[in-house]
Each structure stands twice: as C-alpha cells, then as structure tokens.
Structure 1
C-alpha cells in the first residue's frame, strides 16, 4: 500500500497551487531552429534524450561527443549520431513504436539549457552519416528529429544544485563506485566489472 496520502488529480489543482506562467515563458517557444538555437547546438557536447514506448514506459539516455556533434540538417531537422553503446538500444526501440522525443542540450559552464521536443526516426543514410565521422569512425545509424518545439530553459535547477561550481562537488574519494554497483546488480565479480568497463572505455568509444 502506498504511503502517499494526497495526490493531485487535475491541472486546475496544479494551477491553484503553482500559478500560471509569465508572458515571457508563454511566448518563448518556437517551432524551428533559428540562428541562436543552431549556435547553441554547435557549442553543446552533451544532451539527454527522453523517449517512451507504445505503453508509455519511459527512458532517458545521455548522448555526448565533441561540441557540435549533433548535425543540423535545416531549421526543422537535426541528426544525433549513434555512437557505440551497451547495445540495449532502449531509445531506438522506443522510437520504433513511439516517435515522440524530448531533448535537453547542455553546455558546460552555462546554467541555461536548450530544450527540443519533436518526432524522431532512425536513419541509415550513408552519405549523411559520413558527415558525422569521429575518430575515423562513421556511425552505423543516426536519430533524425523533426523539431516541433524549441526553447531555452531557465537556470534555476543549475543554480540550486551548483552543478558547475567545483567547490560544491563531492570529493572524488567519496563518490559512489559504478563498478561496485554494477557488480552487485549483475552478480559479477567487481574486478571483472572494472576490467570490462576499462576495455569498453578505451577500445569501444567510437
């Protein structure tokens, strides 16, 4: 039985508690990539992509490479190269049954982010994929997103978390151990996990 006693059931309830957005917030959304957004993408080395399958089960996946790794086709389309990963292909399997995606682009040191919502498809256009070559490797596939919404997201979350402030960071010695977590979850010895991770990061990055 849930320990939650009260929940919100309607947008009216939400608005009563949280209020309505300002005119700036209401009017900031555009439906295409203008020069400002294209410049932002050219300087962004990292994004998080949110997808959901046909049943609504969600997934959020990071993507990263050198700044500008996302290729802008035109004001309505961008392509994210599919670099080698863990072969779960969660995002792409979701896109096959539900093309709606949400993207958040991040630039290190900048507290505002760029959000893009749209519809995606998986592409294997060789001529296009060649333009996204990195470290001598051409991606096998790409994710093309048709832009439906594009807007700047405010910096409050980054300011509250002090994400870019090194003085707020946890000491390296006190960070969680990904190898330990993987070892316990996958029931594989820690040393073997560390070896597998090292091989993956050094030999299969591209």
Structure 2
C-alpha cells in the first residue's frame, strides 16, 4: 500500500515562492503523486544498482557541504522501507560530512543513473554515524566488503523522511568505461594531486581551536539500545 508523506510537503520557503510565482498547483501534484515518506520496491531496487551518490549536509549553523560517495553496486544498503546505510571508507581524514552529521543530522542524498535508467532519486532524512560493530549488532545482514581499502570504517545510517524522483529530461546519458580504482590509497598522483593548484595558493592557516566531542544523535542512541549490554 502506497503511503504519501504525512507532514506538510515542502518547506515554508517553497510554499511562499510557489504562491508568488503561480506554481502551487503544479507543485502540489508533484508532492501528491511523486513524493513518499519511504522507499518503495522500485526505489529500493534502484538504490541497489547504483555505484555512486551525492551527499548534502550542513553543520548546526547551516554551513553546507556537498560531496560524492562511490562503491560497488549496492554499497548503499536499504535496510527496510524507512532506513538505509552506506559505508564510510578511509578518506582524507577531514570527515566534513560526518562532522556535519554529528551536529545536524539532516541529509540530502541524490542518486543519478547516467548509464541505464537515466533517472535520479532524491532521499532526504535524518542521519547518524555509528561504529561498525554497533550497526552489525542491530543489522547482522549487513554485507562485509572483502576488498582492502574498501572496508567500512564506520557506517552512516539514515532514517528516510522523503523520497522522490529527479526527472530524466536534463540528465545526460553516459557510457561506462572500465577503470581500475585505487581504494584507500594515499598515492598523491592517483588521488589527483594538486589538480586545481590549491597548495600554491594556500596561505598560512591559524591553528584550529579545541572542540568538544560530538553528541550522539537519536538514531545512534536507538542503535546502541539494541545492542545487549549497552
């Protein structure tokens, strides 16, 4: 049975602009016909075929970050209709997305298939960063990646709040070409080097201020409650 998002769809800003520009009726049809508060079977299958996604986060002050995540097909794992997870692999150590999530759990995920379906899927929700053993205690079916450098250091778990299509009309079709991926490498050349010349332009930076540790989000606390002895 299909469920439509129960809360008022769209932000207050969206609604104001729709009224101002005469698009409220068109927008409402989209909310009613295309937006769900869960992942249906087709969405779940689509996510399972994807090898990349874009992740939007912001800190508690609203400063935004958008990044790219990739892995083998199915690296984003749908746990059930309202929860999904992806593995955080070893990166550059900055942890920009995870730092934002530790302050502000709202995330926007975008999956785009440029090769086969030529369609996109938005998934918005509340994310929490957990340790691998905690996630596996709650979800023993989580796959274990056998490739060194591609093993998750910690997963991100998302409670789905909105799921909706990204229309196909402006998505370019691309052909997939074989490429050897260097998972987990620190080789500067293989990582792209200083392609944009940032190192030459960077000036002296002030020492970072001391910060306190992140406060676990509600999903983290819930997962910890599922693990015996915690």
Q: Is TM more than 0.5 here? A: yes
Q: Secondary structure at the match of 2:102?
A: helix
1:155 corresponds to: 168
Runs of 4+ with deviation above 6 angstroms: none
2:63 corresponds to: 57
1:133 corresponds to: 145
1:32 corresponds to: 38
Given candidates 147, 155, 162, the residue that maps to 1:142 is 155
Q: Does 1:164 align with 2:196?
A: no
Give the Cα separation in 1 of the matches to 2:56 and 2:35. Answer: 19
Q: Secondary structure at the match of 1:113?
A: strand
1:1-206 equivalences under 5 Å are 12=16, 15-17=19-21, 19-20=23-24, 21=26, 24-27=29-32, 28-109=34-115, 110-126=117-133, 127=136, 131-136=143-148, 138-158=151-171, 162-164=172-174, 179=193, 181-182=195-196, 184-187=197-200
Unaligned runs of 5+ in 2: 1-12, 177-191, 202-230
Q: Would the alpha carbon gap of residues 18 and 44 (structure 1) be closer, same or farther in structure 2, given more than 3 Å must change?
A: farther
Contact 1:47 1:103 in 2 (8 A): yes
Instruction: Select between 129-138 and 55-64 the one with higher mean Cα deviation.
Output: 129-138
Q: Secondary structure at the match of 2:45?
A: helix
Give the Cα separation in 2 of the matches to 1:55 and 1:23. Answer: 30
Instruction: Select between 125-134 and 63-72 the one with higher mean Cα deviation.
Output: 125-134
Q: Would the alpha carbon gap of residues 179 and 22 (structure 1) be closer, same or farther in structure 2, given more than 3 Å must change?
A: same
TM-score when normalising by structure 1: 0.70
Give the Cα separation in 1 of the matches to 2:30 and 2:14. Answer: 21
Q: Would the alpha carbon gap of residues 18 and 163 (structure 1) be closer, same or farther in structure 2, given more than 3 Å must change?
A: farther
Q: Would the alpha carbon gap of residues 70 and 132 (structure 1) be closer, same or farther in structure 2, given more than 3 Å must change?
A: farther
Measured after TM superposition, the shift of residue 108 of structure 1 is: 3.1
Q: Secondary structure at the match of 1:131?
A: coil
Measured after TM superposition, the shift of residue 181 of structure 1 is: 3.5
Measured after TM superposition, the shift of residue 38 of structure 1 is: 0.7
Q: Secondary structure at the match of 2:37?
A: coil
Q: RMSD across aligned C-alpha pairs, in angstroms?
A: 2.7
